[in-house]
Amino acid sequence: FYSKDLIGMKFIVTAGPTIEPIDPVRYVTNHSSGKMGYKIAEEGQKRGAEVILISGPTNLKPPEGVQLIRVNTTLDMFNAVKEYFDRCHALIKAAAPLDYKPEVVSDVKIKKKNIENDELNIKYIRNPDIAAYFGKIKKDQIVVGFAAETNDLIENAKEKLINKNLDFIVANDVSKDGAGFKEDTNVVTIIDREGIITDYPIMDKSEVAKIIIDKVKKLIEDKS
C-alpha cells in the first residue's frame, strides 16, 4: 500500500549512462545500468508525483506511469532536462553522463592502418555539466546530485555539492562491495547544505530511493 503523498509534485529523474559515438560502429560509455535512477522514478510515481524519467541506454523496463524520454549523448540529456526544468519541483540526477566526448565523430568506420605500431588517438572535449548548469539557474527547484567516487568520498562529494550548488548530494563509493554500478543494492552517504553527513548501511536501491524522495518532499514542503 502506498500513500499518495506526492500528488501535485513534478520530478525529473535522470538515469543510466550516456554514450558518445566515435564513428558509426563505435562509442564510449560507462558501467551505469540505470537501476538507481529507475528506482527513484518508481518511488516518486507510486506516491503520486508526476515523473519524467530521462534515461540513457539501459536494458530496464521503465516503471509504469512515468513519462520516459530516451537519450543517447550527454548533450541530448542536457537538452531534455532543459525542456522540462522550468515546470518541475525537483531534478534528481542519478545518471552517469559522460564528461567528455570525442572532438570529431567520423562519418565512416575508422579502419586499421596496415603499418607497424598502428595507433588510434582520439581527442576528447568536455560535455556540459548538467547538474551544475541547473543547480546554478534554479529558482525554487530542488536539485539533487550523486557523487560516484573511488577515493576520498566525502571530500569529493562536498566539493560537488558546493560547485554544482546542489540541495543535497548522495555519495557512493563505487569500488565498495554492494555499492554503485549494476548492483541491486547501494551504500550511500548523504550530505546536505548544512554540512550534515549521514551514513547509511547497505540497502536495496528501492530503499535508497525512498530516503531520497522523502528528503526531496521535505525540502519542497519547507519552501512553500
Nearest to 170 by CA among 152, 148, 141, 155: 148
Q: CA dihedral defined by 57, 60, 63, 67, rounded to 10 degrees?
A: 20
Q: Is 214 annotated as a binding residue?
A: no
CB atoms within 10 A of CB 59: 7
Nearer to ligand PMT, 50 or 183 (CB): 183
Shortest Cβ 196–ligand PMT spacing (Å): 19
Q: Is 99 annotated as a binding residue?
A: yes
The three-state secondary structure class of 52 is: strand
CB atoms within 10 A of CB 190: 19
Shortest Cβ 111–ligand PMT spacing (Å): 31
The three-state secondary structure class of 159 is: helix
Strand partners, 146: 170
Q: Is 113 annotated as a binding residue?
A: no
Shortest Cβ 87–ligand PMT spacing (Å): 19
Nearer to ligand PMT, 36 or 41 (CB): 36
Nearer to ligand PMT, 8 or 14 (CB): 14
CA distance 159 to 154: 9
Locate 148 and state its grid cell: 560516484
Q: Among this protein's residues, is 72 annotated catalytic? A: no
The active-site residue, picked from 30, 79, 156, 163, is: 30
Shortest Cβ 132–ligand PMT spacing (Å): 7
Q: Which residues of this chain interact with ligand PMT, rule CB under 6 A? A: 16, 32-36, 74, 93-97, 99, 127, 129-131, 145-148, 160, 172, 174, 180-182, 186
Nearer to ligand PMT, 99 or 192 (CB): 99
CA distance 181 to 147: 12
Give the active site residues: 30
Annotated binding site for CTP: 99, 109, 146, 160, 164
